[in-house]
Every structure is written in C-alpha cells, then in structure tokens.
Chains A and B, each alone.
Chain A
Amino acid sequence: MDAFLSQYFDLDIMWRSLPDVLSGFWVTIQLWLVASVLSLIWGLVLSLLRQLPGRAAAPIRALTIVYIDALRGIPLLLVVLLISGGLGALASEDVIADWIGLPRWFGKPDPFWYGVFAITLTYGAYMAEVYRSGIEAVPSGQMQAARSLGMSYAQAMRKVVVPQAVRKVFAPLLNDLTALMKDTSLVLVIGLAEVVSIGQDIQAETFNSSALVLGAILFLVVTIPLARIVDRQIAKQQIRYQRA
C-alpha cells in the first residue's frame, strides 16, 4: 500500500516537479484555447458549406462531406504525424513557404502549430456535425420568415438560423472542447513539451508517476467544471422545452 501511494502520490516529488508540470500545463492550455477557437470557427464554416443551397453548390457539398467523413475516420495521432512530418519536409524542399511549413508564429515552436493544425482539421470535422444537428433542429419556418422579409440566405443564416443553432448545441460543443483538451496530449509525439510529456520525462528520471498524477489533477481542474456547465446547460434547455 505504501509502495502504491508513493508511486502515484509522492508529495515530495509532486512539490518539486510542480513548476515544470505547471509550465507544461500552460502549454497545454494555450494549445487547447487556440485549437478550440479555430476548431469552432472551422467547424461552423464546414457545416455551412455542407448545407449550401442550390444545384451549383453540389460539388462543394460533396467535397465537404468527403472531408468530414475522412477526418472523423482517421486517428488524430495520424493526422498530427502527417502534418508535422509533411509540412516540415515540404518546406525544406521549398514546395511551400517556410512561414507555413515551419510556423513559429507568436513565439511558439513549430510542433505547437502543427498540433493546432491537426487538432483543428480533425475537431472541425467533429464540430461540423454538431453544428449541422443544431441547424437542422431550427424549424424551417425560421428561414422562411427571414426570407419572406427580404433577407438573403446568408443574412438569414447569420442573423436567424445560426444563433439559434449554436444555442441548441452549446452542450455538445462543450463536450467536444473537453475531449479536445485531453487530445492535446497527443502532440507530445512530435516533441511539444506539454504537461503529459513533462510528466513522462519526470517519470523516466525518477521511476515515479506522481508528476503524471499531478498532470491528471490539473486536467480535472478544468474538465470537471466544464462537465458541470454542460449539465446545467442541458437542465436549462429542458426547462425551456417544457415551457415551449
């Protein structure tokens, strides 16, 4: 029992590794926030492309569906490796410019941005489906009313349909953001010093897992409140349902 406790909950090791683990967690948080914002935007763009009206847009719709299906069906880890290896190599062969092939924007190293790209590409596809369910849940009378007032399709989407759709899918989107946060740890395979990779290094040095447990606790500090927000939101929607 003592061996078990000291393997996972050695307070001394936790205390000593705290600064490193915290700095790793800060990287995780930054990766999470940047990738979240971009995924939320990219997902919305994809869902709108997927539902573009009219015959002329059929190829765009088809391509978008292929993209969404493909990225939802491939492991994120694989996308991370494809992006980092691929972009780096293409940049060194001068096929693409360095600023995109070896991105170092805002003082962040290229693995950070490869991670952002890969996560956004994948989670954008997940979120596109979430948005779509929200858009489809908005009664068709809303679009008709907006159009009957002379609003264009784009205006009706922007002012009437999307705002209602986003409200409906707030909870599932937050769930995706929680999953996204956990998946940021995959970027350690391309050498980003985020919280899990730092915990792993300490584990290798000390033969002790307490730094990783500390990392786990930090994740929970963020994800558990998110889960409660989701619960509250679902309860609120149910009340609104009963009133309507």
Chain B
Amino acid sequence: MVRLEGVHKRFGRLEVLQGIDLEVKRGEVVCVIGASGSGKSTLLRAINLLEPAEQGRVFLEGVEISGTKGLNDVRRRIGMVFQQFNLFPHKSVLENVTMAQRTVLDRPKQEAAERARSLLERVGLADKLEEYPDRLSGGQQQRVAIARALAMDPHVMLFDEVTSALDPELVKEVLDVMRELAREGMTMIVVTHEMGFAREVADRIVFMDEGLVVEQGPPAEVLDSPREERTKRFLGLVLEH
C-alpha cells in the first residue's frame, strides 16, 4: 500500500530522515513510536510529499509518487490528521468537511453535504454541523478533522500525535474513532505516545530514533521484549509514567 525505500530528508545541516525503509500493507495499522525530534512527523510528511524527500523513493499502491507530478491527486488519497487539528477557523464544521470535496473532487454541493453529514454522524458530531471550530472542544475538533480527511475517500490515513494536544479526558473519544476505523479495515500509520492504544490496535509497531527505523514488529514483541538497546531505553522512559 505504502512503501518507502531509502528515504532521506535534511533541513539545512540536520539530517532528519537517514534512510527509511518501510512497507505498510493494505488494511494494516502501523504505530510509529519514538522520542520527540526523532523524525516521526517528517516521516509522515514525506509519505504524502508535503515535505518531499531529497533522496529515496515513495510508492503508493505500487506506483512511485516521489518525483512525479499530479501530487494533488496523490495527496487526496492519503488522509492526514494533525496534532493541532488545523481546522479552517473561518468555516463551519460542515464547510470544513465539504470544502475539499467540492474543490478537489468537484462533488456537487448536495452530495458533499450528505457525505459530510454521514461522516460527522459517525464521529458523533451530527449536532455540530453549523458550529465554528473555536466553539468546539479539542476532542470534537479532532473528530471533525478526521471526518474532513475521510471525506476525500482516502486509501490510507496518517495520524500525527492526534491526541497529544488534548486534555486527558478527551483522548478516549478520539481514540475510539480511530479504533473503529481500524476495525473497518482502514490502512493507518499512526504516530502516537498512547502505548495502550498502540498495543491494542496496532498490527505492527515501528520504533524510530534519530531518523532511522531501529526496530519493528508485533506489539507484544517490540513493547514487551525489545531487542534493541535504544528501544529498551525509550520504553523505559515512557512506561514509567
């Protein structure tokens, strides 16, 4: 579904991705863990080419997308949800979910609104269609952001620490939506610090450090009996809390 081969990315002198190889199969849920600054966000942005790698290749559904044109159509097949929600504050909830459907997919207004309604209902926000983002809680905003991404009928979803900016009591409502999505078979790459969620939902855990994939495998292996020293140290730090 998604494949990265030797992806390098640098910002000035800092090499943030130092040769990433990663393959994610259709329907697979991969959780990416790692310390802050290890390159997890950059990895996600290299996948949907918001931050194109200067070396290496990225494939989507068997076709190379790095170094090609037509990125808008590629991006619309890769949904992305951000830590800071990034809802459009000047638009209502409904408009947030219909805007790209209308401009990118040329869906008729009626159809886009219907799709938005059904998605917002699915994430439990059917009663908030006309609200503006700043009137919503963080958890509600994040659920709108998920609906907004899903409205483009993506083939894979990227989640970048989507619960990190939330008050603890709001984390569950967002994770529940993601759990549901995973159960329905969505291909997902999830950067997260929620180890409980990762253990429960992930088919595979990828541990990153200093721009490299250090270790990967089923949750039970990576989380309970990591092979690498760096993984042990990281898990020691996170699981203490």
A192, B152: Cα distance in complex, Å: 57
Check A145 against B86 for contact (C-beta < 8 Å): yes
Least CB distance, A189 to chain B, in whole angstroms: 43
List the B residue with the shortest CB-CB distance to A148.
B80
Alpha-carbon gap, A71 to B51, bound state (A): 36
Provided the pairs A144-B82, A155-B103 are in contact, do residues A149 and B149 lie with their beta carbons within 8 angstroms? yes
Q: How far in angstroms is the closest Cβ of chain B from A208? A: 53
Whether B50 is near chain A, meaning CB under 8 Å from some CB there, is yes
Interface membership of B78, Cβ < 8 A: yes
Task: Indicate whether A151 sits within 8 Å of B86 (C-beta atoms), given known contacts A144-B50, A243-B134, A244-B134.
Answer: no
Task: Return the CB mask of B7-48 against A: 1 if under 8 Å, else 0.
Answer: 000000000000000000000000000000000000001001
Of residues B78, B88, B145, which shows the largest number of chain A Cβ atoms within 10 Å of its Cβ? B88
Name the interface size band of chain B: 20 to 34
Q: Does B72 reach chain A (CB closer than 8 Å)? A: yes
Cβ < 8 Å to B, chain A residues 196-221: none
Chain A interface mostly? helix
Which of A43-51, A54-62, A156-164 interfaces with chain B? Answer: A156-164
**Smallest CB separation, B87 vs chain A (Å):** 8
Q: Does A73 contact B (CB under 8 A)?
A: no
- A141 an interface residue at 8 Å Cβ cutoff? yes
Known contacts A159-B99, A160-B88: A147-B50 contact under CB 8 Å: yes
Nearest neighbor of B100 in chain A, beta-carbon distance:
A149
Q: Does A107 count as interface, using CB distance less than 8 angstroms?
A: no
In the bound assembly, the distance between CA atoms of A167 and B88 in angstroms comes to 13
Instruction: Please tell me if B200 contacts chain A, counting CB pairs below 8 Å.
Output: no
Chain B residues packing against A (C-beta within 8 Å): 45, 48, 50, 72-80, 82, 84, 86-90, 99-100, 103-105, 134, 145, 148-149, 152
For the complex of A and B, 10 pairs with smallest distance between CB atoms:
A150-B76, A149-B100, A145-B86, A141-B86, A148-B80, A150-B104, A150-B75, A150-B72, A155-B103, A163-B90
